[in-house]
Amino acid sequence: MTNAPVTTQGFTVAIDGPAASGKGTISRAVAEHFGFAHLDTGVLYRAVGAKVILGQDAESAAKTLVPEDLTNPDLRTPDVAQAASMAAAVPEVRAALVDFQRSFAARAGGAVLDGRDIGTVICPSAQVKLFVTATADVRARRRFQELSGNGLETSFEEVLADVQARDARDMGRADAPLKPAHDAIEVDTSDMAIEDAVAAAISLIKAAM
């Protein structure tokens, strides 16, 4: 089930969407199913955001990222998410992260990358592009449960405000805004269980192989 056929050499799946839409969950499951490598590109921006919170300027943080920065256990907090989204609007930050993402996408054996601009900017010739959505209410509910489950004290209202503020900033920025590529397939997970969303993604990818 996880064997990558030879035909997946250089095969890229781009999965974009707004905060907590389920793109990471789908990407991990798809990568496991097909034996592809997976890159959560949000982690790159979160690592930059975490350094900005510690006082570094965003551009130099992006230019000096090292692998250990990506395993910082605090990257999933709402404060880091907001700082990531602010840093992500800086064109020099985005430019500093392009080569790493494109090299990852070109890996032998296939790759799935999830983020905001994978289908539009990073991998415009990806063989499959999915745009994963859900209503803001559903997404905030899911993220609230996730954060509460991890012991973070927050409220649904705070999480909803965070998600909406990031969505607005991510969609409104001039450089690589969050939007579906013209050839992306939309997967609305609002009323889908995780298993159904994953199954839908797998069948869309199979159809493109």
Ligand X SMILES: Nc1ccn([C@@H]2O[C@H](COP(=O)(O)OP(=O)(O)O)[C@@H](O)[C@H]2O)c(=O)n1
Give kind and range of the element (H or E) at residue 112. strand 111-115
18 is in an annotated binding site: yes
Q: What residues numbered 94-113 form the site for ligand X, per CB under 6 A?
A: none
Contact flag: residue 162 with ligand X (CB under 6 A): no
Beta bridge partners of 12: 111
Contact flag: residue 85 with ligand X (CB under 6 A): yes
Q: What's the rounded Cα separation, in Å, for the pair 164 and 59?
A: 25
Neighbouring residues of 111: CB distance < 8 A, sequence distance ≥ 6: 11, 12, 13, 36, 37, 38, 39, 104, 105
Contact flag: residue 116 with ligand X (CB under 6 A): yes
Binding region for ligand X (CB under 6 A) out of 3-11, 29-37, 38-46, 200-208: 38-46
Query: Cβ of residue 26: shortest distance to ligand ADP, in angstroms?
Result: 7
Nearest residue (CB) to ligand ADP, 19 versus 128: 19
42 is in an annotated binding site: no
Q: What's the rounded Cα separation, in Å, for the pair 136 and 12?
A: 28
* Closest to 12 (Cα-Cα) out of 101, 110, 134: 110
Binding region for ligand X (CB under 6 A) out of 50-58, 79-87, 128-136, 186-194: 79-87
Annotated binding-site positions: 17-25
Q: Please state the residue numbers annotated as binding site for ATP.
A: 17-25
